[in-house]
Structure 1
Amino acid sequence: MASENVNLSTWDIDSYFPALITWVYNKVASRSSSIYLARFGVGLTDWRIIAYLGLFDGGTNAQICDYIGLDKAAVSRSVARLKTKGIAVVTPINRRDLKVELTKEGRELGEEILRVALEIEANLLAGVSEEEKQQILAFLRKVLNNVSTIKKSG
């Protein structure tokens, strides 16, 4: 339970985990997205979906939303863009669900973007040992698992 003695004027926001991780995410996402747009004509959301489709050899919008943590509208817009650009194909499964798969061109584009994504990761982890990287990843996986414990308040 949070301390009852809280004061915004003395709060150390730089030590508040949700703020720090959000700032890191926002800055990395902004830089990455501008690189992907300039080089490949796709934004960060598109890249995430391309990566998912390549990794899992396709999927439905719902599966993409669940795995990546994006909202349905963002995924639908991105899938429509990818389809228009010839990066993905969409096939009806039933009245509600669509299967989304990469085209050959989409897979090739995904592999080009992956090279750049791995360069970005290398830049972010410069000076970090492999052991430290594995510790960071283990820590972030624990935090990710704990997200479901956050209670919605009303």
Structure 2
Amino acid sequence: MTARSVSRKPNRKASERPEARGPTLDLERYVPAFITFIANKLSNSATAFYQGHFGVNVTEWRMMSLLAIEPGISAARICEVIGFNKGPVSRTLADMQQRGLIAIRTDPDDGRTHSISLTAKGRATHDKVIVAALERERRLMSCLNKSEQEVLIDLLRRLHDNLDAVTGDKV
């Protein structure tokens, strides 16, 4: 018996061989997978960090950061920008309101919509989390030089602007 035959894997049935199963993705080159894997890992680690240090999860942080940029926006606007469904957004907002992080008021111009804003407690929490969020971004991007960072941001923005090519939605 040669060393070659000893190290060989046992024969598999043709249906178990990768070449017999049909096409597969190259996960080293498939962009949607890369984006998803990066987003999942960033979200999971951010939730663990933000929850442990500031008492908010990454979903709450995303909403808080948007409310700091656009005070008084509606839940529909949050869904539009962040890309979340209405149900989870409504539940998260209700929880944030109960914890005193946001205020939800009926819009005086349209009684069917609500204006959502950070409270003083919410703004103070935001101002603590943003420091950590920007540091996490800096560390993530540290493998790229400044010009590469700008190229990446431009490319990501262009992909975001082109999402309707695959979703059918205006993003």
Same fold, judged at TM 0.5 (above): yes
* Cα deviations by residue, 1:16-61 (Å, 9 ceiling, x for unpaired): 1001111011001100111111111111110000001001123110
Amino acid at match of 1:86: G
Moved more, 11-20 or 109-118: 11-20
RMSD across aligned C-alpha pairs, in angstroms?
A: 1.6
The reply to whether residue 16 of structure 1 matches residue 30 of structure 2 is: yes
The one of 55, 70, 73 equivalent to 1:56 is 70
* 1:96 CA displacement: 2.4
Q: Which runs of 5+ in 2 are unaligned?
A: 1-21
Distance of aligned partners of 1:62 and 1:123 in 2 relative to their CA distance in 1, 3 Å threshold:
same
Task: Give the total of aligned pairs.
Answer: 146
SS at match of 1:15: coil
Aligned to 1:149: 165
Is 1:73 aligned with 2:87?
yes
Distance 2:167 2:69 in 1: 31
The one-letter code sitting in structure 2 at the alignment partner of 1:123 is: R
- Asked if 2 retains the 8 angstrom alpha-carbon contact of 1:52 and 1:58, the reply is no
Task: Select the structure of larger CA radius of gyration.
Answer: 2
Alignment partner of 1:89: what SS? strand
TM-fit CA distance, 1:77: 1.1
After TM superposition, the runs of 4+ consecutive aligned structure 1 residues lying more than 2 A away are: none
CA contact (8 A) 1:86 1:105 kept: yes
Q: Give the residue type in structure 1 aligned to 2:78.
A: I
State the distance in 1 between where 2:124 and 2:141 align.
Answer: 26
Contact between 1:57 and 1:101, CA under 8 Å: does it hold in 2? yes
State how far apart, in whole Å, the 1-side matches of 2:160 and 2:51 are: 28
Following TM superposition, by how much is the alpha carbon of 1:79 offset from its aligned partner in structure 2, in angstroms? 0.7
Letter of the aligned partner of 1:118 in structure 2? L
TM-score between both structures, scaled by the size of structure 2:
0.80
State yes or no: 1:40 paired with 2:40: no
Q: 1:104 to 1:141 in 2, by over 3 A?
A: same
Q: CA deviation at 1:13?
A: 2.3
Q: Give TM-score scaled by structure 1 length.
A: 0.89
SS of alignment partner, residue 50 of structure 2? helix
**Any stretches of 5+ residues in structure 1 without a counterpart?**
1-6
- In structure 2, the residue matched to 1:4 is none
Q: Relative to structure 1, is the Cα distance of residues 54 and 151 closer, same or farther in structure 2, using a 3 angstrom cutoff?
A: closer
Larger RCO (CA under 8 A, 6+ residues apart): 1
1:99 & 1:18 partners in 2: Cα distance? 34
Q: Is the 8 A contact 1:60 1:100 kept in 2?
A: yes
